[in-house]
Structure 1
Amino acid sequence: MVSPLHSNGHAELQRENVVSAFGDLASRPDLRPELLLKLTGKLQTTLDLNQLLEIFFTEMQQAVLVDGMVYQHAELKLRYSIGRQPPHSASYQLQTQKDYMGELVFYRSTRFREHELANIEGLLSTLVFPLRNALRYQEALLAAYRDPLTGAGNRVALDQTLNREIELTKRHQQDLSILMLDLDHFKLINDLYGHATGDEVLKAVVDCIGRCIRQTDMCFRYGGEEFLIMLSNADGAGALRIAERIRMSISDLRFDTDKGPLQVTTSIGCAGMTFEDDKESLLHRADKALYRAKHAGRNRVICDVDEVTVV
């Protein structure tokens, strides 16, 4: 079903109707049956979320003039935007009886009229189940590339993503830096406090990293307590700032255990890509910088260039 949330710019919905994929429409849309049939057929041709939303946006413009559309699903951290976002909008929440499927917002430069909102709701009723299937497929793909404990990307995701980013960086002559992060004395944490506490630490560290990096950056679990952070469009100085922010944030974490409070620290090696680098050479330089950080006393950041150290 499609629940109208709100419309702004004087196109406000004055009713509490819910439009169901299998119920009667409270406000009858004025839609050609052949348009709905064509749209239904096209929406069943793909499980790719972006392609599905693009098909829907293109086909709906035959019934309602819309300048832009934004789809977002906060829980799955999904956002798709197409077209412009003028001041007038109408928002809808999509769900079945069991599944929440996110929110769609439609934009245009003039107010939506009542019959146009009814048409949008009629069109949305054809999207509900194809969208549910696309989201389930998306979740399955994400699970295949995600570390089940921490939610960080796994080694398969790292290999594919880093190769792609290196290629794009060279093609567009942009900066790319990576951080190799290892938790200090993590084996001792497992031995003294137990593996359950160790798992709690790993999950908290990944959450902490996520709060410190930008939306364009990515975190991967490289090994047991070792993580790799990929920083797109970040030069050496920018990477060092992010690395130090991560180091300080992790050192501020506190864990209450049955054996008393626990504090963790991390050592970080930083490497910026050169145009001679491939994946192996870039990882090797970051790993060497991490090794130096460990042997310099831990709880510090070292860059592979000129052995710059941040403590």
Structure 2
Amino acid sequence: MINPSQIRELSQKNDKVLQIATLLHTSLSVEEIIAQFSEEIGDVIHHNSLSYVNEKLDINVLFGQSARHSCTYELSINEQSLGLLSLTRDKSFSDEEIEQLERLICALHYPLRNAVLYTVAVNSAHKDPLTGIGNRAAMNTALHREIELASRHHRSLCVILLDVDHFKSINDTYGHAAGDHCLQSLVKCAENSVRISDLLFRYGGEEFMIILPETDESGVLRLAKRIRRRVERLETTYQNQLIRMTISLGITTLRESDDEKTLFTRADEALYKAKQEGRNCIRIAASD
């Protein structure tokens, strides 16, 4: 038989879960929700660190310093995986603490699910569905951010615009599905050529931008030459048909007075010049 003190204790535990859930529902940031959850359960379940990993969304957050003993949970709702939650500390968790922790984690599920869905929606809105790289909206955001960072820290910044030569002819000859396949092959080729810190975007039908932080003109020219050569040698096969393509590239470096519009326009002018002067070549924006 449950005595009154046990009923009060159970009620208090349920109130704690409700309190945490209500608080977590105020944010759609995965990182903020995990940080808040760690803080809120700290007085109930002492822990040295709390981490959350969602490999599908490339989210990996850690609060605190990892310790010897751990307790890990795979979070899910209706068979929808939300990721892995881990707590660590210097001494092992008791059965009572584990039971209490599992009750508290109930407060995390739905706020985290909402934040994950929001993150997926935001990522989708900034991703090109054909190639999987950033779209024009993502490009505009990244270009603004990288110009600000480069200007604030007095760092170099370069941009490459590239365009597939005679892409309409590829579509007309082999079909639009083959053209899509060529764009996907081009993106893979470019991704294998750039550094981890470089940013690749598709901003038009067959038009792409690469943002290169902390890169000078000689560095961007080396990369542009490497990509042009690799694409020229690329053998793309679609339905047993070998399709070859070339690209034209325009490059420029950040100037003190630049904003997103002036930097893009100058690279676009260099790209136009490459098109006018025979294609399958690189042109550097004219200096003032």
TM-score normalised by length of structure 2: 0.81
Match of 2:194 among 202, 213, 224: 213
SS at match of 1:269: strand
Structural mapping, 1:9-48, within 5 Å: 32-48=13-29
Structural mapping, 1:47-66, within 5 Å: 47-66=28-47
Choose between structure 1 and 2: higher helix proportion: 2
The equivalent of 2:93 in structure 1 is 113
Structural mapping, 1:77-92, within 5 Å: 77-85=58-66, 89-92=70-73
Matched, 1:280 2:258: no
Displacement of 1:297: 4.5
Structural mapping, 1:246-257, within 5 Å: 246-257=227-238
Native 8 Å contact 1:180 1:290 kept in 2:
yes
Q: Deviations over 1:247-294 (max 9, x none)?
A: 444445432234621123322222221211111221122123323444
- Could you tell me which amino acid in structure 1 is paired with residue 190 of structure 2? I
Native 8 Å contact 2:68 2:91 kept in 1:
no
Matched, 1:271 2:240: no
Distance 1:178 1:112, change over 3 A: farther
SS at match of 2:205: coil
User: What is the rounded CA distance, in whole Å, between the counterparts of 1:211 and 1:120 in structure 2?
Assistant: 44
SS at match of 1:75: helix
Distance 1:302 1:59, change over 3 A: farther
SS at match of 1:63: coil
Q: Deviations over 1:191-220 (max 9, x none)?
A: 111101111222232344334434443322
Question: In angstroms, what is the RMSD of aligned CA positions?
Answer: 2.9
User: What is the rounded CA distance, in whole Å, between the counterparts of 1:106 and 1:241 in structure 2?
Assistant: 46
Matched, 1:204 2:218: no
- Could you tell me which amino acid in structure 1 is paired with residue 250 of structure 2? G
Deviates more, 1:114-123 or 1:32-41: 114-123
User: What is the rounded CA distance, in whole Å, between the counterparts of 1:82 and 1:150 in structure 2?
Assistant: 34
Q: Deviations over 1:127-177 (max 9, x none)?
A: 122111111112222222223322332223322332232223212222322
Displacement of 1:94: 1.8
TM-score normalised by length of structure 1: 0.75
- Could you tell me which amino acid in structure 1 is paired with residue 60 of structure 2? R
The equivalent of 2:127 in structure 1 is 146
- Could you tell me which amino acid in structure 1 is paired with residue 114 of structure 2? N
Q: Deviations over 1:224-253 (max 9, x none)?
A: 100112223333344334434444444454
Matched, 1:97 2:97: no
The equivalent of 1:12 in structure 2 is none
User: What is the rounded CA distance, in whole Å, between the counterparts of 2:48 and 2:246 in structure 1?
Assistant: 50
Matched, 1:137 2:137: no
Match of 2:163 among 167, 178, 182: 182
User: What is the rounded CA distance, in whole Å, between the counterparts of 2:91 and 2:218 in structure 1?
Assistant: 48
Deviates more, 1:77-86 or 1:197-206: 77-86
SS at match of 1:137: helix
Q: Give the number of the structure whose alpha-carbon radius of gyration is greater.
A: 2
Native 8 Å contact 2:143 2:260 kept in 1:
yes
The equivalent of 2:54 in structure 1 is 73
Distance 1:57 1:173, change over 3 A: farther
The unaligned stretches of length 5 or more in structure 2 are 1-9
Match of 1:171 among 143, 149, 152: 152
- Could you tell me which amino acid in structure 1 is paired with residue 109 of structure 2? V
Query: What is the identity percentage for the equivalent residue pairs of Structure 1 and Structure 2?
Result: 37
User: What is the rounded CA distance, in whole Å, between the counterparts of 1:86 and 1:248 in structure 2?
Assistant: 50
What is the number of equivalent residue pairs in this alignment? 276
User: What is the rounded CA distance, in whole Å, between the counterparts of 1:273 and 1:267 in structure 2?
Assistant: 20
- Could you tell me which amino acid in structure 2 is paired with residue 161 of structure 1? A
The equivalent of 2:6 in structure 1 is none
Native 8 Å contact 1:193 1:259 kept in 2:
no
